[in-house]
Amino acid sequence: MPDPVIAPYVPSYVDQQPYVTPAEYKAAPNAVNTSTITPGRTQPVNDDALRTILLNASSWADTLCNQTLAATTEIKGGVYRVYHGAIRIPVPFQPVVQVNGYQYGQPSTLVPADSLANVQIDGNVVILPTPQLGPLYVELEYVAGFANTLLTADAAAADTTLAVTSTIGIFPGLRMRLCDPGKDENVVVLTVDSDTSVTLSAPLVADHSVGVNLTALPGAVKQAVILLATALIKGRSVSSVQMQGYQGTPTSKVTETIDGTEEVERAVSLLNNYGRVV
């Protein structure tokens, strides 16, 4: 049998981090006790359960928006017509924040573009200049979504370099926020030094520990994830035992289901402007 055809896919999804950290969630006015997510278990166990819930809530937000909100590397391939010396490629995910490169020709003999100087990003359409005529097969590599990462090393006040899990979606001039309850601060990226390091345009004001969220996600997205996490926590069945009978055994067991519907509705409202344009 011939070799299989592999989709041109860049697995940047493995770099994704939750959109809200446990510390952020605990500091939010959500009125949910996170110490009893798994009743009768230790606090570290409950903290692990909260991390999992926040990952699931972040994925739920992605599902509601029909796209991954965190920055990911994507590839769009297809045959496109040349019009007035350019190809216009509508891409499915937004916001488009960066074009990494593109190749054109035939799938078996693609020629990499030697320059991105005249490439334009117009909303969710990427415009590629080309001297070629006739329809062309193009593979476009781009980054879509909001940069979202975690610190992998402690950072002290006055530091200008941050070690992070990933720099996907981060570029010079990007305004980001260190979400550290009680010590939040806005920062501006000066340079992207590697896949896991950035330099800031000004020194940090406060100390920040490993695991703090460095993000460009809108506040509305973060609040939606907090609400979805609350709905997941509240959506469990809580059992209570009523008064004992005369023989010392429970007379009945009542199960109350708290569904978190209100939180989900509010989260959906907050995410309305971040859905994928189909």
Q: What is the pLDDT of residues 95-107, one digit of tens each?
A: 999 999 999 887 7
pLDDT at 255 over 50: no
Report whether 42 contacts 35 (CB < 8 A): no
Tokens in use for 14?
């493995």
Please tell me the distance from the alpha carbon of residue 176 to that of residue 200, in angstroms, as a whole number. Answer: 10
Average pLDDT, the chain: 88
Please tell me the distance from the alpha carbon of residue 53 to that of residue 56, in angstroms, as a whole number. Answer: 5
Please tell me the distance from the alpha carbon of residue 20 to that of residue 218, in angstroms, as a whole number. Answer: 12
pLDDT at 179: 98
Report whether 6 contacts 31 (CB < 8 A): no
**What percentage of the chain reaches a pLDDT higher than 90?**
67
Q: What is the pLDDT of residues 54-74, one digit of tens each?
A: 999 999 999 999 999 999 999
pLDDT at 236 over 80: no
Of the candidates 77, 58, 79, the one whose C-alpha atom is nearest the C-alpha of residue 69 is 58
Q: What single letter denotes the amino acid at residue 123?
A: G
Q: What is the pLDDT of residues 186-221, one digit of tens each?
A: 999 999 999 999 999 999 999 999 999 999 999 999
Report whether 100 contacts 149 (CB < 8 A): no
pLDDT-derived band at 235 (thresholds 50, 70, 90) equals: confident
Residues forming a β-bridge with 148: 215
- Kindly state the average pLDDT of the residues 155-180: 97
- Kindly state the average pLDDT of the residues 245-274: 69
Give the residue carrying structure tokens 């950035």. Answer: 198
pLDDT at 131: 82
Q: Which residues fall within 8 angstroms of residue 28, CB to CB, at 6 or more apart?
A: 20, 223, 226
pLDDT at 259: 62
Q: What is the pLDDT of residues 1-39, one digit of tens each?
A: 887 877 766 667 777 899 999 999 999 987 688 888 888
Of the candidates 70, 66, 74, the one whose C-alpha atom is nearest the C-alpha of residue 9 is 74
Higher pLDDT, 35 or 272: 272
Please tell me the distance from the alpha carbon of residue 102 to that of residue 107, in angstroms, as a whole number. Answer: 12
